Amino acid sequence: MMDVSGNCRIVVTEPISAEALDRLRTAGEVCQLSDTSPQALIEALPDADALLVRSKTHVTARIIEAGPKLRVIGRAGASVDHIDLRVAQRRGINVVYTPHLSIRAMSDLTLAMILCVHRRIPYFDRRLRDSTFEAVRQALDATGSRPGVLGLLGLSPVSDTVGRVLVEILGWRCIYHDPAGGRIERFEAAPVSLDELLARADVLSVHLSLSPQNRGILSAERLAQLRPSAKLVNTGRGGLLDERALAEMLKCKQLAGAAVQIYENEPLSAEHPLRTTPNCLLVPHIGSFLNDPSEAVSEVIEDVLRVLRGESPLHAAAKSTS
């Protein structure tokens, strides 16, 4: 085990607590930046052994290459979309993060969104505000209360939790398609092609990460394969689906409903067509904010210190092979 007491330099790009800073100082000098522009990071990294970021800092290839001594990049959060993992891997730099902390919060949110659109809760909320209870009851569709076919696009710990609850507790059937070739083993579900997934799902729940291969996977042509009675729930990533095509399908009643909590461009512009689309539940990008942020910081710091001591991290998105 490597003794790093007092020997390392750690750059922190966003505010963290005094307690967290003290924990990092057990490994050496801590440089907390007030300016997180790319140039400020580049100037701070030549002598850095570790870089700790939260949600705002984009760690590009140019920034990584500015740190010849970097051994670890820590992200206090559940995603590493804004870190160039390819360059980090090539450089032999560990990238550590906290993927497990948001699983319960994101699972709760995804289940709530699925059940809201399946049971048409936003629609009935608006109808009741504008009409009488009896008039709303006449619009009830009994099929909406029955368990449906859940289609999972992409597999993740969140999709695993959501699928198990809907299948094992609420009696839904599940089909799935994972471009990476993953398999579901913890509950009953059938792997299918993407075309079959779109054709059969009553609710399509999207759990893909954003990559060059997945970007735009739900194009206008693919969305058109969904049945008019289907609903779409996207808690995956913005950029996976054609938002304007989705809005047009909802307006033309080519799709029964949708729920979205992450968008290609955030914040959602005032002119965005989804804002005025019927039967569409819009949720701000809150999934990762439902956790205690101090817990994420504390856990990623421990993994940063493990790497600096020469130990294996618990949660690595990219891991050094040296």
Q: Are 150 and 173 in contact (CB under 8 A)?
A: yes
Q: What is the pLDDT of residue 260?
A: 94
Query: Which residue out of 71, 237, 306, 315 is catalytically annotated?
Result: 237
- Please indicate whether the domains covering 8-101+291-318 and 102-288 agree at the CATH topology level: yes
Q: Which residue has the higher pLDDT, 178 or 99?
A: 178
pLDDT at residue 1 in the model: 44
165 contacts: CB under 8 Å, gap ≥ 6: 107, 111
Q: How far apart are CA 92 and CA 75, in angstroms?
A: 17
d(CA 289, CA 214): 25
Show the DSSP H helices in the chain as ranges: 18-25, 38-44, 61-65, 85-91, 103-118, 121-130, 133-138, 157-164, 194-200, 220-223, 243-251, 293-308
pLDDT-based confidence at 2, cuts 50/70/90?
very low
Amino acid, res. 159: S
Phi/psi of residue 219, nearest 5 degrees: -75, 175
Per residue in 206-227, pLDDT (tens digit) is 999 888 888 999 999 999 999 9
Q: Is 264 a catalytic residue?
A: no
Both tokens of 273, joined, read: 């067509």
Residue 285 annotated to the active site: yes
pTM above 0.85, yes or no: no
For the chain, the C-alpha Rg in angstroms (whole number) is 22
pLDDT in tens, 85-96: 999 999 999 999
| Predicted confidence (pLDDT) per residue in 131-185, tens digit | 777 766 666 664 556 889 999 999 988 999 999 999 999 999 999 999 999 999 9
* Active-site entry in 127, 285, 302, 309: 285
Confidence of residue 266 (pLDDT cuts 50, 70, 90): confident
Rounded Cα gap, residues 135 and 128, in angstroms: 8
Neighbours of 25 (CB within 10 A): 13
Looking at the domain 8-101+291-318, which fold is it? Rossmann fold (3.40.50)
Enumerate the domain spans of the chain. Answer: 8-101+291-318, 102-288
Q: Return the structure tokens found at 256.
A: 């029964």
Residue 109 pLDDT class (50, 70, 90 cuts): very high
Pull the structure tokens for residue 197. Answer: 């997934």
The Cα 215–Cα 85 span in angstroms is 17
Element spanning 257, H or E: strand 257-260
Fold of 102-288: Rossmann fold (3.40.50)
Q: Both tokens of residue 236?
A: 């995956």
119 in active site: no
